[in-house]
Amino acid sequence: MVNEKNIALIDDYLDGNLSKEDKVSLERRFETEPELSELLGLVKFTKESIKLNGQKNKIKEIHQEFLKEKSINSGKSSKGKVRTLHWWIGIAASFSLLILVGVNHISSYPEKLLSEKYYSYELPTMRSNENGKETLEIAFKNQEWNKVVSEVEFQSDDRQSLFLAGISAMELKEYEKALSYFERIEIINHESGDALFSDETDYYKTISFISLSDYHNALTKVKAINSDENHKYVNVFSKTDMVKLRILEML
């Protein structure tokens, strides 16, 4: 859950309004509190979005109107407590508006992300000695996606065939079907103790999740990929990409 006090603190930090001691203290917290570090990215991104969209003054006006209206309706009793409460509510309302402005800025982000991050899989030139596999590989190279998918059962134990079928399903924009093939590979890898097509499966599952607007699972996969320095696709998705996925997840 978003902590309004931390939002205000980070806002002051980014605007350079903190004392040297408070600045150092907060930066230490960024290093030890992952959620606070993520919140820093969210606030920073939305503030940048506001500048790009020229909405800063508009948000300030809305925030002031919000506080003014609440102050008028609060009455004289418990004045200090009510104003404090309304101030925190105002911060939360402003942050929500910041997020909305950011959303306007990144409305085309998923499509842009897919165009920038999607790498088509190229089958190695070496062919299989098995007739069935060779036929499948030829169909894949000829981009006969429907043929590849139709020839591979979901319960197949051949991970290469499953992987080619998964990629073919993606090319057909049948992402749910692609995920079923990839998940079958993960099951076989888990049972066998090896990792054939493991990195590739992680990457293409991430692309499939984004294509399905499943940003939660996409972000989970990206975090797992970037936490493994030996992963073939480590840092293909940047920290900025992760922040944007987090914002999309919140919508």
Query: Are 163 and 200 in contact, with CB atoms under 8 Å apart?
Result: yes
3-class SS of residue 148: helix
CA distance 162 to 151: 10
Cα–Cα distances in Å, from 106 out to 45, 97, 117, 175, 222? 10, 14, 16, 23, 19
User: Do 59 and 50 contact (CB within 8 A), yes or no?
Assistant: yes
Q: Which residue has 């054939």 as its token pair?
A: 196
Which among 12-16, 81-85, 93-97 has the top mean pLDDT?
12-16
pLDDT of 83: 46
CA distance 251 to 249: 6
Q: What is the mean pLDDT of residues 134-149?
A: 95
Main-chain dihedrals φ then ψ at residue 192, nearest 5 degrees? -90, -20
Percent of the residues in the chain that have a pLDDT greater than 90, as a whole number: 50
Cβ atoms of 197 and 219 within 8 Å: the answer is no
Residue 197: both structure tokens together: 């097509």
The Cα–Cα gap between 77 and 93 comes to: 24
Q: Is the pLDDT of residue 40 over 80?
A: yes
Q: What is the pTM of this model?
A: 0.67
What 8-state DSSP symbol labels residue 15? T
* Integer CA distances (angstroms), 31 to 12, 38, 41, 246, in order: 18, 11, 13, 19
Please, what are the domains in the chain? 4-105 (no CATH), 111-250 (1.25.40)
pLDDT value at 115 more than 60: yes
